[in-house]
Amino acid sequence: MINPPPAFLSAAKDLLGPKGWTEDPEKLLAASTPWRGTFSGSTPFIARPASTEEAAALVKLCAAHRVAITPQGGNTGLVDGGTPHGEVCVSMTRMQAVREVDPFNNSMTMEAGATLVMAQETAENANRLFPLALGSQGTATLGGLISTNAGGVAVLRYGMMRDLILGLEVVLPSGEIWDGLSGLRKNNTGYDLKHLFAGAEGTLGLITAATLKLFPKVQRAAAWVVVATAEDVVKLLALVRDHAGDSVTSFEIIPANAVAMVVADVPGTRDPLPANAAWRVLIEISQPKAAQAEALLTDALEAGAEAGLVQDAAIAVSETQAKSFWHIRETIPLSKRAYGTALNQDISVPVSRIPAFIEACNANVRKIVPPADFVIFGHVGDGNLHYNLSQPDAADNAAFLASQPAVNRIVHDSVHALNGSISAEHGIGQLKREEILRYKSATEIGLMRTIRKAIDPAGLMNPGKLPGPR
């Protein structure tokens, strides 16, 4: 770990005040330990600015002393993008204010350290919907969600985080503040700069606030559906959308073995429809009125059964039952962790190619990791699969983990051959920093490096994440 110069530390402490920084070893360790634990890091100092002005003064100070920064929100990222490796960690969790809610413009402006649940509740209090939803929503922050362009379970209808931002406020690596907060839907005045920062993983600046899109509130109907094959899952998606159009909000694929993992791990959970079939699908349809949503869902499932695509289905009869379906889906990552060791992938391919991808990839992966369980789940409506291999911890972990590079090659080459992406929603961070160089064209990587160098010539923003400048 490179210790920042003492002059920097004393100036930063003066600037931030006693609540604005810590050197407590436990907190430094927590900030350096990512959720998945892949690349544990280190940091000498956590700065916790309380306002945009304070954040800007801090970044200016870092620039003056050539001190590198790792921005951090909730530290729930899955590619080690928010893990410092000797850099000063700038935690945004003190900046959580709601600056404005404008229900008639369907927009709200909140600070970057607010969690996703806070954003959902702020919208709800204004009789509106902020639709992003994902398993880590109680901890993940708006700044982190924007910086990773997070997806989640409602992308099918509302898009990813990038699609949900109207404006941003960013402290640039120089310490200058870019006030791009705007509630406008139409603004054709040159480069749309906010999109540079969405998905930039903290490499271009520190996001301090965002203006977000709001939507009319909806009522939801959810169904748990048993399906025989991945091909039937894809056909069912098309059929349900034919019947319910854009009101299909979520279409999640869950394998039978993941349901078994959750049931074994989480007391009180049970398989809603035990069956021998390989797959379950969790479908959610939303409409202004609950009866409309239920009618559309019933109609679509009846058509699915007639077409031989639905083996069995349960439409939730209460909010509690719908929550119990979702609880199974959302608990898979934790139950998979309890089950044993996993090799994880977050990929996307065109929806139509999902069955071919699973079949070919499983056969090739099986050749090098014979005993592993395939735990393939995720946002099938977006073509996004969390393609994972798991095995109980009692087995030979070291050999299993050592197969990760070979598994990566098979999975990523298959994805690339189908015009897919090796990172659908989690980002690149440190985890896929080298891997991405194989799959993006030299032109694209070159453009990314040029942009990064232009905005952060000293290379102080989150070094070591995403492909860096040469």
Burial class of residue 440 (count of CB atoms within 10 Å of its CB; 0-12, 13-18, 19+): middle
Are the C-beta atoms of 213 and 200 separated by less than 8 Å? no
| Residue 426, SS3 per DSSP | coil
Q: Which amino acid is at 315?
A: I
Should residue 381 be labelled a site residue for ligand FAD when binding is judged by CB under 6 A? Answer: no
Q: Does 178 bind ligand FAD (CB under 6 A)?
A: no
**Helix, strand, or coil here: 43?**
coil
Contact between 464 and ligand FAD (CB under 6 A)?
A: no
Considering beta carbons, is residue 22 or 311 the nearer one to ligand FAD?
A: 22
Kindly give, in sequence order, each residue whose CB lies less than 8 Å from that of residue 179, ignoring residues fewer than 6 positions away. Answer: 169
Say how many C-beta atoms besides its own lie within 10 A of residue 316's C-beta.
22
Q: Which long-range contacts (CB under 8 A, 24 or more apart) does 117-120 make?
A: 119/212
User: What is the rounded distance in angstroms from the CA atom of residue 285 to the CA atom of residue 283?
Assistant: 7
For the CB of residue 331, give the shortest distance to ligand FAD in the complex, in Å.
9
Residues between 282 and 311 with contacts to ligand FAD, criterion CB under 6 A: none
Cα 30-36-38 angle, rounded to 5 deg: 90
Token output for 153 = 């379970």
Note whether 255 binds ligand FAD by CB under 6 A.
Answer: no
- Beta strand 69-72 with 88-91 is parallel
Indicate which single residue of 22, 43, 136, 286 sits in contact with ligand FAD (rule: CB under 6 A): 136
Task: Indicate whether 380 belongs to the interface with ligand FAD (CB under 6 A).
Answer: no
Residue with tokens 């069912």: 236
Number of residues that bind ligand FAD (CB under 6 A): 37
Helix (H, G, I), strand (E, B) or coil at 251: strand
Based on the shown chain and the rule CB under 6 A, indicate whether residue 109 belongs to the binding site for ligand FAD: no
Instruction: Annotate each residue in 31-70 with x if it binds ligand FAD (CB under 6 A) or - if it does not, as one string.
Output: ----x----------------------------------x
Comparing CB distances to ligand FAD, the nearer of 72 and 421 is: 72
Q: What SS3 class is residue 220?
A: strand
Q: Which of 112, 239, 285, 342 forms a contact with ligand FAD (CB under 6 A)?
A: 112
Report whether 34 contacts 82 (CB < 8 A): yes
Q: Which two tokens stand for residue 433?
A: 């920093």
Closest distance of CB 428 from ligand FAD, Å: 9
Residue type, 372: A
Question: Minimum CB separation from ligand FAD for residue 290, in Å?
Answer: 25
Does residue 165 contact residue 198 with C-beta atoms inside 8 Å?
yes
Position 152 contacts ligand FAD (CB under 6 A): yes
Residues 20, 41, 81, 383: which binds ligand FAD (CB under 6 A)?
81
Contacting range for ligand FAD; rule: CB under 6 A; set: 10-18, 42-50, 137-145, 312-320: 137-145
By beta-carbon proximity to ligand FAD, the closer residue of 132 and 354 is 132
Do residues 47 and 20 make contact, with C-beta atoms less than 8 angstroms apart? yes
Of 339, 351, 155, nearest in space to 265 by CA: 339
44 vs 103 by CB, closer to ligand FAD: 44
Contact between 177 and ligand FAD (CB under 6 A)? no
Among 43, 76, 341, 430, binds ligand FAD (CB under 6 A): 76
Stretch that binds ligand FAD, among 150-158, 179-187, 289-297, 411-419 (CB under 6 A): 150-158
SS3 330: helix
294 or 382: CB nearest ligand FAD? 382
Of 56, 57, 118, 150, the one binding ligand FAD (CB under 6 A) is: 150
Residues in contact with ligand FAD, shown as a per-residue x/- string from 199 to 218 under the rule CB under 6 A: --xx---xx-----------
Would you say 219 and 249 are in contact if contact means Cβ atoms under 8 Å apart?
Answer: no
Contacting residues toward ligand FAD, per CB under 6 A: 35, 70-78, 81-82, 92, 112, 134-136, 140-141, 143-145, 147-148, 150-152, 201-202, 206-207, 333, 425-426, 429, 462, 465
